[in-house]
Amino acid sequence: MFIDSQLKRLLAAELASMAGNFMVLAALPFAVLSIGGTPAQAGLAFGCQAVAFGLVLLLGGAVGDRLPRRATLVGADLVRCAAQAAIAVLLLAGEATLWQLIAAEVAVGAGSAFFMPAMTALLPEVVPSRSLWEANALRGVVASAGGVVGPALAAVVLAATEPGWAFAVDSLSFLVSAALLFGLRLPAAAPLRTASMLSDLIDGWAEFRRRTWAWVVVLEVGVLNTLVFAPFFVLGPTVAASSLGGSAAWAAILTAMGLGELAGGLLAFYWRPAQPLLAGTMAMVLWIAPLLLLASAAPIGLIASGAAAAGGSLAVFAALWQTVLQTRVPAGLRSRLSSYDLLGSFALLPVGFLLGGLIETTVGATPGLIAAAAILIGSTVAVAATPCVRAVRLAVVDGDGPNLLGDFYGTFTRARDTGANLISATQERKGDTMPQLMIATDRHGEDAGTVVYRERVNLSDLESDHFSHQLVERVGWALHDANELEDGPAAESEVPPSGN
């Protein structure tokens, strides 16, 4: 894959943003302590940021689909830049108070709720469909690098000076991200929709619910985050302190996990399983290694190796999932479906941390880790056995052409050139100027005319070859999914026609 200047800008912006986030993750507790606060109050600040993120997330997704995504991203970065700059000034002046810190973290959480769905949806506008796989793998590497660079920067700044300067550097990171994103060259944005924001949210939920493979995977990740991953990060330090020699052992385990994430991102760059959601789900079974090794207080080297494999599985899953989401969801819905994905995956994460503490005080770390391993196996088997998850196939694109099913693209091109509709119809939505394109099956018998794909489109976009290629790709997937459901489980072993 050739990494062009546009993708480099996007990845550099995300690295700056991620490094800043992780930097404050390390610096915020020291900022609270520097103004006479307590660790509990630092936890309150983190909690308020998480609550703000969750409350605003769906709105952020709707805005990301309604406004130009570059503007949404730049605006979110500038809000976070201003919030952290204000706290930096107050801390350095010795005037900061707890409520000001909390207000700034609320602004940062809200800004992130606008930034993350728009960033996921923007990537397909920057790189062609054939390169999305590698681009998402690189995003995973960048995220992992941010998790290493941010805390390291924070350690240097905190050792050399005071917490206010860490917030100043974080503010600068958001400004750098905004500048890089502002310079992106993107296709012309579609006209703003006239439907209400509530209508957009309802439409987004309907589309998310209709894609069974999407909500099944989001439900799985939500369960794992709440009942497996969060308790692991609470119970792990307890085992390390009591049986492995203390905090140095736990730091080694987390370092190995971070290195594993980097390696997993590089693996995802080259590995293209035919069934990406099934492969991603099965990859997370590797988490059983650190869970059971930690439960048995195995040698630190073995636990670290298991943690590295677990970290790698997360990076692989993230690349697979993001690519599927970006290639099988219409451009006008990507931010909203990404927001439902994020909300479903992480909404109960604070509950998971509380649950981990409750488990440690009631039954102990070892039974809790073993129970987490059992939940991991049960949820993985359940999702892997779901036909809609197994039916999702990898999009293979040769050269510069789109991903096709049979001669559908040629038919679509001819229909577009003559102004005709291809086995489709358009209808005006009440109060909305954007028509709805409906793709129906061209079969005979009782299935004739069954609608398998709907998308609200701006008809002038059909003049764009880039838009047309992506639309054909999404329709191709819809037809393929319809055939999978019609043919039943036996079809899972067949190779989809013409690139699917």
Residue 470, pLDDT score? 66
Q: Where are the alpha helices (DSSP H) in 271-407?
A: 276-283, 288-295, 300-328, 334-346, 349-362, 365-384, 387-391
CA distance 450 to 447: 6
Tokens of 421: 């509709």
Q: What is the pLDDT of residue 480?
A: 61
Q: Which amino acid is at 333?
A: L
Q: What is the pLDDT of residue 461?
A: 56
Q: What is the C-alpha radius of gyration for the chain, rounded to an integer number of angstroms?
A: 24
Q: Which residues contact 265 (CB under 8 A, 6 or more apart)?
A: 137, 138, 140, 141, 143, 144, 315, 319
- Name the 3-class secondary structure at 425: strand
CA neighbor of 24 nearest in space, from 77, 84, 74, 81: 84
Task: Give the N- to C-terminal CA distance of the chain in Å, as an integer.
Answer: 20
pLDDT at 288: 94
Q: What is the crossing angle of helices 300-328 and 334-346, to 10°?
A: 150
Q: What does the alpha-carbon distance between residue 361 and residue 211 come to, in Å, rounded to a whole number?
A: 40
Instruction: For residue 464, give Cα distances in angstroms to 393, 406, 424.
Output: 26, 21, 19
**Structure token pair of residue 272:** 């293209």
| Tens digit of each residue's pLDDT (9 = 90 or more) over 456-491 | 655 555 555 556 666 666 666 666 665 555 444 433
All domains of the chain in start order, with CATH: 1-128+150-182 (1.20.1250.20), 197-394 (1.20.1250.20), 408-493 (no CATH)
Weakly modelled stretches of the chain, pLDDT under 50: 1, 191, 396-433, 442-445, 447-449, 486-500
Cα–Cα separations (whole angstroms), residue 359 to 40, 223, 235, 393, 480: 20, 16, 8, 39, 45
H or E segment at 454?
strand 451-456
Token pair of 462, please?
Answer: 């059909």
Contact 331, 457 (CB under 8 A): no
Q: Which pLDDT value is given to residue 466?
A: 59
Distance CA 3, CA 10 (A): 11
Q: Return d(Cα 12, Cα 6) in angstroms, integer.
A: 10
CB neighbour list of residue 374: distance below 8 Å, 6 or more residues apart:
none
Type of residue numbered 455: E
Give phi and psi for 67, each to the nearest 5. -100, 165
Which sign, positive or negative, has the C-alpha torsion 75, 76, 79, 82?
negative
Distance of alpha carbon 373 from alpha carbon 45, whole angstroms: 31
321: its two tokens = 């999932």
Q: Write out the two tokens for 22.
A: 């992780």
Beta bridge partners of 489: none
Mention every residue, 6+ apart, whose C-beta is less than 8 A from residue 117: 57, 60, 61, 64, 334, 335, 336, 338, 339, 342
Tell me the two tokens of residue 299.
């040698």
294 contacts 371 by C-beta, under 8 angstroms: no
- Residue 173 CA to residue 179 CA, distance in Å, equals 10
